[in-house]
Amino acid sequence: MLDERKRQVLQAIIDDYITTAEPIGSRTIARKCGLGVSPATIRNEMSDLEILGYLEQPHASAGRIPSAKGYRFYVDCLMGPQQISDQDTRLIDQWFEQKVRRLDEAFQETVRVLSRMTRNVSLLLAPQAAACKFKYLQFLPFDENRVVLIIVTDTGVMENRLMEIPEGMSAEELQRIAGAMNHRLGGLDVTDIQSALLDQIKAEVLPQPELLENALALIREATCGTTANDKLYLGGTTQLLNQPEFRDVEKVRHLLSMLEEERLLHDILHTQDGNGVIVTIGQENKFSGIQDCSVIQASFRLDGQTVGTLAVLGPTRMEYARTMAAIEFMQKHMEQILKKYLR
């Protein structure tokens, strides 16, 4: 076990790193945290914590950052309990009263609210509800000759594909095509988007057949629910782009690709079974694609039976106390909603 001073230094480093995402030196800790000891003493404690595996030094000249072992000790032994504020509670209650009329809307709003509260990706595995609806198509510039074609449904499911820009086509023309397709398809159940409708759109607005072929393939891939009994809702995928850990294009592309694998996401949410809020950090996760991430999840129940799972996925540099409090609150909120709609 760590002595009290090492615990204080480790907590100060993790709290600061969660906020700044910058490696931390001994002088910073001495200046910010008021531990009553010199930078030299803190430097010695940091060196010991690194030897013990609680800290890492990313570069020879840099300060230290927490390791997965450090985060685990922080969650288990250092972090104090936290609750969301009464003001946030009232705002969430008002939001659901205004937005939710059906059970599937409750699931959609839950992942939307949770991703905003935590600034990370949120996932919800729930009893099968209504079919998902086409929300929008978008072309995002990638380089001079390519764009990323994105299809998004109302449940947050996102499909994307890198494609060549047809010769002679401008960015304005791409946006016109996207707008026309969104106008014709927005709000339709994905299962109702048939080839005949797409052929009609092709004749009207798509002079380039390869654009239609790519869009059609993605629309068909953007289906919801892989089993008859449950359905996956996803929110906040764009939050990843705001995290310093995912500034590397290849890294974020790999993670976004994983978030498209709905069967894999089902498996991730089914790997933990237990009561309360469960935290898995770094390589504690069994799936290689998320071993640089943390997952915080909780099951929600109806009449004593587990009926779904709520989770947040983000970098290991996560606001654990705040996220766990948000998960716990939304778990209880979801159980109240299920009682309202399913009893």
Tokens representing residue 306 in the block: 């587990």
For the ranges 79-88, 104-113, 191-200, 333-342, the lowest mean pLDDT is seen at 191-200
- pLDDT tens, position by position, 37-72: 889 999 999 999 999 999 999 877 678 999 999 999
CATH topology assigned to domain 4-78 = Arc Repressor Mutant, subunit A (1.10.10)
Q: What is the pLDDT of residues 12-31, one digit of tens each?
A: 999 999 999 999 999 999 88
For 223, the token pair is: 């289906």
Q: Which helix (H) or strand (E) holds 297?
A: strand 293-302
* Joined tokens for residue 178: 């996207």
pLDDT at 31: 87
* Banded model confidence at residue 132, pLDDT cuts 50, 70, 90: low
CB 297 within 8 A of CB 306: no
Q: In whole numbers, what is the pLDDT of the chain averaged over residues?
A: 82
Structure confidence at residue 225 (pLDDT): 41
pLDDT of 100:
72
Residue-wise DSSP of 102-115: SHHHHHHHHHHHHH
Mapped to the 3 state alphabet, what secondary structure does 221-264 carry?
HCCCCCCCCEEEEEECHHHHHHCHHHCCHHHHHHHHHHHCCHHH
Which H, E and C letters describe 3-38, residue by residue?
A: CHHHHHHHHHHHHHHHHHCCCECHHHHHHHHCCCCC
Q: Establish how many alpha carbons lie within 13 A of residue 140's alpha carbon, considering only the half-sphere containing its beta carbon.
A: 12
* pLDDT(194) > 70: no
State the Cα–Cα distance between residues 124 and 107, nearest whole angstrom.
7
Mean pLDDT of 87-102: 78
Residues in the chain: 343
Model confidence at 293: pLDDT above 60: yes
What pLDDT score was predicted for residue 51? Answer: 95
SS3 string, 118-181, reads HCCEEEEEEECCCCCEEEEEEEEECCCCEEEEEEEECCCCEEEEEEECCCCCCHHHHHHHHHHH
Spatial separation of the C-alpha atoms in residues 303 and 6, rounded to whole Å: 45
Fold of 134-221: Enolase-like; domain 1 (3.30.390)
Would you say 298 and 276 are in contact if contact means Cβ atoms under 8 Å apart? Answer: yes
Domain boundaries, the chain: 4-78, 86-131+226-342, 134-221
Phi, psi of 69 (to 5 degrees): -65, -40
- pLDDT confidence tier of residue 337, bands split at 50, 70 and 90: confident
Sequence-ordered list of residues with C-beta below 8 angstroms from that of 123, at least 6 positions apart, any chain: 111, 232, 233, 234, 235, 265, 269, 309, 310, 311, 312, 313
Is 130's pLDDT higher than 50?
Answer: no
Q: What is the mean pLDDT of residues 213-231?
A: 57
Q: Which band of pLDDT confidence, cut at 50, 70 and 90, is reported for residue 208?
A: low
Q: Work out the burial of residue 308: count CB atoms within 10 Å of its CB; fewer than 13 is exposed, 13-18 middle, 19 or more buried.
A: buried
Q: Which CATH architecture has domain 86-131+226-342?
A: 2-Layer Sandwich (3.30)
